[in-house]
Structures are given as structure tokens and as C-alpha cells.
């Protein structure tokens, strides 16, 4: 066994391998740092799926997870990157008359090609952190039906933090316990990556 497939790594984490295969996998993991990294990628992917508490995932979900995993490992240089344009930011909207204080939520809307991405940034004061919630939207019904299981990569350019998530059946996703800073969100669509640039993860301008 020279390489480890996505399915083999999933079976390894779930304890579904035979004794012979288990021994072979553990031997390869001990000798191959790249395989150890692949295992951690699969572990994080499964953790993201469990966060959605899916009782019976759609048949297409595993395939999309596998495609995102293989694309991550291959680091395909031919992947196009398209930066989404900012359509709306509640920072630029004045507070209604009579409203005092600083709002604890910030709403943003981005657009690229056939997709819109609706983002909400919430200041969780109790945790002294930020929460990012969002939804990927297609401009037609066939696209909307294919929004489950799309991988998202969040990178904090200030401190190097990397986080991953997957969209649910409605294209929704979330990241919690985030520090204030500059972020880049990359949405791995079928033929290209949509890039969202956030100059500052905050709720105030």
C-alpha cells in the first residue's frame, strides 16, 4: 500500500479496516509525513460534517467532499481565482434616527458570476470573539440544488490562522471563535475559486 485514498482514511478513522489493512496504514503513516497530513485533512473534513448533525446526507455530498479533498492535496495550479465584488456593506449605511451605540452585527453581500455570497459578522462579546455566518446563493434553481458540500477555506492574513467548512443543503456555512483581523475566504466552486477579501473582521467601520 503506497498511497492512501480518501475512503481508506475514512475507514481508518472509523475503525472499519481489517487487521491487515490497519497494520499497513499505520506503517505508512509512521513513515510518511505527507500521509499524516492527508489524515489530518480527512479528520477535519469529517469534523465539519458532524457539525451539521446530518442524519442522512445527500448522495452527492461524499463525492463533493472527496473532490474538495483531492483538489486540496493536488494543489492544482490551473485553478482559476476570481475575486468577488462587494455589493453591500452595512458599515456604509448610517444608523437609523434614534439608534444609539454600536451595532453588534455587520452584513455584507458579494457577487461573482452566477453566485452571490451573503455574509454576516457577529461580535460574540461573551467569548470575546467573532462569528462569521454566510450563505452561498446561485441565480438559478439547478445551481441552488448543487450547493451542498462545497468547501470553504478561511485564512487570517494577520496571524496565519486557517479554518475550513462545508456548505449545507441550503448553501449555508459558519465559522466561530474568530479573532479580529484581515481575512480571505476562498469558496471552491466547480471550475474556479471565488475569493472574498475582508479588510477587517469587525462590526464597526
pLDDT tens digit sequence for 147-187: 888 889 998 888 888 888 888 888 899 998 898 888 999 99
Mean pLDDT along residues 62-86: 66
In sequence order, the β-bridge partners of residue 122 are 105, 131
* pLDDT per position as a tens digit, 101-128: 455 788 899 999 989 999 999 888 887 8
Name the residue range of residue 67's domain: 6-74
pTM: 0.60
Contacts of 106 (CB under 8 A, 6+ apart): 89, 90, 91, 120, 121, 122, 202, 203, 204
Do 101 and 20 share a structural domain? no
* Residue carrying C-alpha cell 461524499: 62
Do 157 and 123 share a structural domain? yes
Instruction: Using the predicted structure, report yes or no on whether residue 145 has a pLDDT greater than 90.
Output: no
* pLDDT per position as a tens digit, 45-72: 766 665 554 445 555 555 555 555 555 5
Residue 119's pLDDT is 92
**Residue 167 near residue 148 (C-beta atoms within 8 A):** yes
Do 66 and 93 share a structural domain? no
Amino acid at each position: 500500500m503506497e498511497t492512501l485514498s480518501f475512503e481508506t482514511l475514512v475507514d481508518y478513522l472509523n475503525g472499519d479496516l481489517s487487521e491487515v489493512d490497519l497494520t499497513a496504514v499505520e506503517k505508512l503513516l509512521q513513515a510518511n509525513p505527507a500521509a499524516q497530513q492527508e489524515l489530518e485533512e480527512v479528520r477535519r473534513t469529517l469534523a465539519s460534517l458532524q457539525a451539521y448533525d446530518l442524519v442522512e446526507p445527500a448522495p452527492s455530498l461524499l463525492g463533493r467532499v472527496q473532490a474538495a479533498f483531492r483538489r486540496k492535496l493536488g494543489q492544482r495550479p490551473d485553478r482559476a481565482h476570481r475575486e468577488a465584488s462587494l455589493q453591500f456593506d452595512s458599515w456604509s449605511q448610517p444608523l437609523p434616527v434614534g439608534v444609539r451605540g454600536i451595532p453588534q452585527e455587520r452584513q455584507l453581500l458579494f457577487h461573482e458570476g452566477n453566485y452571490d455570497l451573503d455574509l454576516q459578522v457577529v461580535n460574540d462579546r461573551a467569548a470575546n470573539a467573532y462569528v462569521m455566518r454566510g450563505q452561498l446563493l446561485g441565480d438559478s434553481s439547478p445551481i441552488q440544488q448543487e450547493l451542498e458540500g462545497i468547501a470553504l477555506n478561511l485564512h487570517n492574513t494577520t496571524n496565519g490562522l486557517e479554518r475550513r467548512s462545508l456548505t449545507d443543503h441550503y448553501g449555508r456555512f459558519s465559522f466561530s471563535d474568530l479573532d479580529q483581523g484581515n481575512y480571505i475566504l476562498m469558496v471552491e466552486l466547480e471550475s474556479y475559486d471565488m475569493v472574498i477579501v475582508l479588510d477587517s473582521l469587525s462590526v464597526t467601520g
